[in-house]
A and B are shown apart, each in its own frame.
Chain A
Amino acid sequence: MADGSGHHQVVVKPPNIATDIHRESDPLVRAVDRVALSGAAVALASGFVLPFVEFRANRIVEGVSYRTWSVAGVWGWLLLAALAASFAAALLPRGLRGNSLLVCGVGGFAAWLFAAGAAATRLMPTNGSSARVSIAMGAWLIFLGISVVLFQGNQTSTINGGRAMALAVAGGAGVAAWFLGGLQQLSLVYEYQAQSDTIWTLTSNHIVLSLGATAIALVIGIPLGIAASRVTAVRATVIPVAGIIQTVPSLALYGLLIVPLGLLGLPTLGTLPALIALTLYALLPIVRNTYLGVSGVDQAVIDAGRGMGMRRGELLLLVELPLALPLVLEGIRASLIMVIGITAVMAIIGAQTLGTLVFLGWGSIAVDLVLLGALPMVVLSIIADQGMRFLQRAIVSPGILIREGQD
């Protein structure tokens, strides 16, 4: 593997004892990837010991569990082989490790999809009826283990565009398993098909509520943060108050809101109180980071700006805010992800969000329903997180991200 730095110099040069000793003792070269190793080990053990899927002939009878190797045929064994390979890959020297982990992880992911599909196809009676095949504990743990392997592989891979290739292969495997591999036979899919309209409505509600609360918090929070950096009295009130709000549990905060809302004649249940509570939560990271960002600007920079004849507004827009931007964006990211989570809880007070689905599933002991609420939330959080990081790279000046003295 072209690893660029130094290691293969040993091959080119005559044997160099000092260098070899150095290599032996270099932890980066010798150490195994403990994280990937644990992930693969957990997955492998789960694959052998824990149930992979569960079959119920109808809603009333007790489920029957099946293990990976007993139910998924050749795909089950392929899956176990990929997990064993991942385990071995984690032991490889660093130069080979990342790429091997990535390949094994993607292979394992594809095998997992097809194994689940194969198990469902095999167990489901052809006449349909009310029988269900659902993913069981072992399969979830294997999925978790594979995610860990993929994450580690992605971190250390040296293949150009390795991430894109892995994503393409995984996506292709997903489509293939869906149309050819019997993935549609899983209970999760049946449940989704039954509830798809509701899920999409709740997802869009969830997005609107989260984004709306964050947007309002931005409009209020950024000016407040700037004001806090200018006026001591504002800082001394706003920051602690926002901090106190954040420490109040979400339902207690809602409870505190009922009285003023009722006095104003506004609805005390549903979207409006949820939006208000979420906005209050989103406020602290935005206000605090704006305050920290603006007040942290180097005094020499401010002095130079003023000395060159910038007005206050120009100084704020051309100098202070651009320099505070990384912190402000970090605050927005923190708020957004937090709010996506708390929006689910707001289902309790009648806001129609993905949390509604989770609580509904919980109440009726329908695990698939809980998952159909939870999975979209996970996806939303990941999208929000990655989107904000992308935005940071796109709009923050590279001059700020450079470290001192770096060329």
Chain B
Amino acid sequence: MAIMTYREALNLALREEMDRDPRVFVMGEEVGLYDGAYKVTQGLLKAYGDKRIIDTPICESGFTGVGVGAAMLGLRPVIEMMTFNFSILALDQIVNSAAKMCYMSGGQYPIPLVVRGPGGPAAQLAAQHSQSMETYFYHVPGLKVVRPTTPADAKGLLKSAIRDDNPVIFIEAETLYAVKGEVPDDPDFTIPLGKAIIRREGTDVTVVAYMGMMYRAMEVAEELAKEGISCELVDPRTLRPMDTDTIVSSVRKTHRAVVLEAGAGFAGMGSEIASEITEEAFDDLDAPVERVTGENAPMPYAKNLELLKTPSKAKIADAIRKVCYR
């Protein structure tokens, strides 16, 4: 085990997979000479050269399509979105080309492609640069969608994503890049896609959360423990395919569930998880499932409004108390 940042863990995953498989290459805006806009690809150009670390012009649809075409010929591209906000410009290539090619071709052309980069709420970046983008992707059959919370998950899940034969949307978080944690240094360490993890065991209520919301939930769980409420924290890690079994098993044990989501709540991931819990474990529930989500407004710039936009610790704590009838 080594202690490293989330950013360093991603960098290490890229290096290990490039060492392991010559078909892996990294392409995107500022990934090479600039060392990555958020320094995830730092030092890769120097280590692997410009054949495998490719700076692109600003043309998200163009270079994502290049990745899909290269994958059709057997390469394993890792396409960096400088931020996932820009992936909207590549949405047709991701949804209509990458996700459906295997199906439309009757299995002849699977697309082993990773599209990765930071997404989710960031610090005062306003409406266009601060939003939860996973919503746009997890609806699409043919895509896998990953949101890793810890440095170890970042490494293990990125390695699995690169080894996967399907297109994987891998959304990191700008606000987590500097978070430090223990990371296995074994180059064979991977975390399978589609497996949730229980981050804190508890008996009174299941709280489902990922990324920044999980860190907030961990603090709330600590505080509520003092009130005698024992929270079990479940992190899905992969949103598609979703590990519903782990979530439902936890709810069957605690009989209560609160689902957290940073993005706007309408038709969000929280709705999907709440619906799964209701369908699978209705008879086990002692209270209706609560959702705590981002407000249904674009991200404002003003600091005070920004704080109101995403779920606060107080709101999360209130929802947990509510399902516990406290």
Do A and B pair up? The answer is no
Binding site for B on A (CB under 8 A): none
